[in-house]
Amino acid sequence: MLPIILNQSDGNWVFADLAQMLSRSLWIDISEHPGELNYILCADAKITTNSFIPLSSIEISLTISY
């Protein structure tokens, strides 16, 4: 299973520097298209793909308001 850093959609520029840092540190590529296993930084709202972090956890974090 090949991992990638997923950085897509209109907001991907926000995470570009972080994506580069992670890519160098983890030795994995950055892509705008989902791979077999994804480290999701920025993605379209309806993504259904394998992620290092379970998608349900990401959804929970997005609903928490401060």
Write the pLDDT tens digit of every residue in 8-65: 888 889 999 999 999 999 999 999 988 888 888 888 767 667 887 777 776 665 565 5
pLDDT at residue number 58: 66
CB contact at 8 A, 39 and 51: yes
List the domain range (segments joined by +) for residue 51.
Answer: 3-63
pLDDT at residue number 60: 61
Total of domains in the chain: 1
pLDDT at residue number 64: 59
Helix (H, G, I), strand (E, B) or coil at 38: strand
pTM: 0.75
pLDDT at residue number 18: 94
pLDDT at residue number 30: 96
